[in-house]
Amino acid sequence: MATYSHAHICQCLGRLATARRHSTVTINGDRRKTGMQFVEGVVGLARRLVHLGVKPGDVVSISALNSDLFLEWLLAITYVGGIAAPLNYRWSLEEAKSAMEVARPVLLVTDSSRGFWHSNFQIDSVPSLQWHVLMDMPVQGNDKGTVFATELLKEPTGRSVTLDYVWAPEGAAVICFTSGTTGRPKGATISHSALVVQSLAKIATVGYDEDDVYLHTAPLCHIGGISSAMAMLMAGGCHVMQPKFDANSAIEAIREHNVTSLITVPTMMADLISFNRTKKTSETFESVKKILNGGGGLSVELIREATKIFPRATLLSAYGMTEACSSLTFMTLYDPTKDSRCLQPHDVKQSNLSRDGGVCVGKPAPHIELRVSAEESSCAGRILMRGPHAMLGYWGQSPSKHLDPVHEGWLDTGDIGQIDDHGNLWLAGRAKDRIKSGGENVYPEEVEAVLSQHPGISRTVVVGVPDSRLTEMVIACVQPNNGWRWADFGSNKDQMQCLSSEILKHFCKEKNLTGFKIPKRFILWRNTFPMTTTGKLKRDLVRAEIMSETQFLSSKL
């Protein structure tokens, strides 16, 4: 039986109810809640969940846009020993049903937003569901087995039940579905301990505190959004809720609420920079002090532009994965409080960030263990992890399905890399994306990191395609930055304004990229690169498009 010595994510409520009792902790449009009001909302929901019949170990799914109500539901479910299983509102109805077939929730909680799968959902289509609750609309339900918000929120009759924290079996708190760049998404089961350890790591590394005003840019159905929200709840800061990210509303929120911290992925940062450029007078936002970037590295150009818009912000990057409850390593890219000669990043020594062999993603966070299982004749190998941050397993699968007995309980991340003498992790790429060219291993991310340093490149994706001589040929798909154009081989090229295959090959050589890793062909990519709903690249779709004869022959440079 769990005791109070065990971690529980709702233990953050005690601080919010006392130290932040009268302070605003959530801002959702015109609705503001103090620490005490937020806690009362969570405990009230928890009491009603017990009255409804939700038991410890029951799974409750949520599909909704970001809101203070989403946060309250997430905590209330775990308060009573339930397991929250957020579902991506951007999924198709079929994907959502597939995820619920895995999680087998007894209750589905949705909001009233239209145009997403949950707005057309019928409860009878998922056998495990007993109830469907609409979190934000005072309407009466008429579907069999459906309970709407006004009914659920009725006070239980009789004597009020005193509640205390309850744990699900194994301390499970959340089932977070991976985005799945290929195949069916899997539900990583995250424990209370993992969320608390991850939150403390973010607080220690990023420096979150109760004076922070945190803008929710990441969706709460993703582990990055959940773990950062938990870190801010534990720190006691103020949450500014944005239903979903767009650059315009994010800039408005930063300006209106004097936001001090936010998280981004490269596409978000690029959108913020691009939107700010379109205005007659570019703004700077000096209230922002902390920006944590995940979901892929920032290019040199994005780092440089970000420091112009957010001149007082410490810019950090994180490398991680859903199965690790978010971040495994952290790295400071820019710190405005330090003398420029001491900065690690872009404008001093680019080799500090990338080199032939990988991209530096920083040092492990506190309480996180990493090691590399080196392959023969190479200092690089598979990156392994273990510790309280690691998932309990994939929901519905036995531990043997995700823990490799060869590695004695260490979880294989699926990434390839190495750890240097200073404890920094250098990431080469995904094992499954490895290109075998001329008998040598090439990792796409490594080549992309070098190409991204060119000022004329906005985005690049590297893949391998079958080749009779090399086995696989290294191909780079490139999107130019504004003001840059592709030059035909026979044209007069202005080196400062044009890109071409020969220019980029020469650039790779200047950056000391090993010869067999330099792309043999460069393709001008005019469309948006295919991405998952969590912003991960669908590299297999890029490869498939290249291999179509029309695309490959007409676009190569």
Task: Please say whether the beta carbons of 133 and 107 come within 8 A.
Answer: yes
Interval 513-540: pLDDT, tens: 888 899 999 999 988 898 876 667 888 8
Residue 240: inside a domain: no
Confidence check: pLDDT of 171 > 90: yes
- The pLDDT of residue 390 is 93
3-class secondary-structure state, position 139? coil
**H or E element at residue 484:** none
Residue 363: inside a domain: yes
Amino acid at 120: N
Residue 209: inside a domain: no
3-class secondary-structure state, position 201? helix
Q: Same structural domain for residues 107 and 65?
A: yes
Q: Same structural domain for residues 182 and 33?
A: yes
Q: Same structural domain for residues 118 and 254?
A: no
Nearest to 62 by CA among 26, 30, 25, 91: 91
Average pLDDT over the chain, rounded to an integer = 85
Residue 365: inside a domain: yes
Interval 343-356: pLDDT, tens: 443 333 344 455 55
- The pLDDT of residue 188 is 95
Confidence check: pLDDT of 357 > 70: no
Task: Please say whether the beta carbons of 143 and 151 come within 8 A.
Answer: no
3-class secondary-structure state, position 187? strand
Q: Same structural domain for residues 95 and 125?
A: yes
Q: How many domains does the chain have?
A: 3
Domain that holds residue 41: 9-192
Question: Which CATH number characterizes residue 159's domain?
Answer: 3.40.50.12780
Q: Same structural domain for residues 265 and 290?
A: yes
Residue 223: inside a domain: no
Amino acid at 532: T
Please compute the mean of the pLDDT values over residues 5-21 and round it to a whole number: 94
Residue 82: inside a domain: yes
Structure tokens at 129: 């569901």
- The pLDDT of residue 152 is 67
DSSP per residue, 308-349: HHSTT-EEEEEEEEGGGTEEEEEEEEE-TTS-GGG--STTT-
CA 219 to chain centre: 9
Q: Same structural domain for residues 183 and 314?
A: no
CA 342 to chain centre: 29
pTM for the whole structure: 0.83
**H or E element at residue 523:** strand 521-524
Q: Same structural domain for residues 521 and 500?
A: yes
Domain end marker among 430, 450, 465: 430
Structure tokens at 194: 């993992």
Interval 201-253: pLDDT, tens: 999 999 999 999 999 999 999 999 999 999 999 999 999 999 999 999 999 99
Q: Same structural domain for residues 255 and 377?
A: yes
Task: Please say whether the beta carbons of 33 and 20 come within 8 A.
Answer: no
Domain end marker among 163, 192, 221: 192
Domain end marker among 397, 430, 463: 430
- The pLDDT of residue 553 is 46
Structure tokens at 505: 């090959």
Question: Which CATH number characterizes residue 531's domain?
Answer: 3.30.300.30
Residues 6+ apart with CB under 8 A from 486: 480, 498, 499, 500, 524, 557
Confidence check: pLDDT of 495 > 60: no
% of the chain surpassing 90 pLDDT: 57
CA 516 to chain centre: 32
Q: Same structural domain for residues 421 and 490?
A: no
Q: Calculate the alpha carbon distances from 494 to 430, 453, 483, 484, 504 in Å.
A: 36, 19, 12, 10, 13
Q: Same structural domain for residues 365 and 474?
A: no
Task: Please say whether the beta carbons of 106 and 131 come within 8 A.
Answer: yes
Structure tokens at 431: 């094992």
Nearest to 116 by CA among 142, 88, 135: 88
Q: Same structural domain for residues 167 and 284?
A: no
Residue 1: inside a domain: no
pLDDT band (50, 70, 90) for residue 487: confident
Q: Same structural domain for residues 45 and 182?
A: yes
CA Rg value for the chain: 24
- The pLDDT of residue 348 is 30
Residues in the chain: 557
**H or E element at residue 241:** strand 238-241
Residue 312: inside a domain: yes
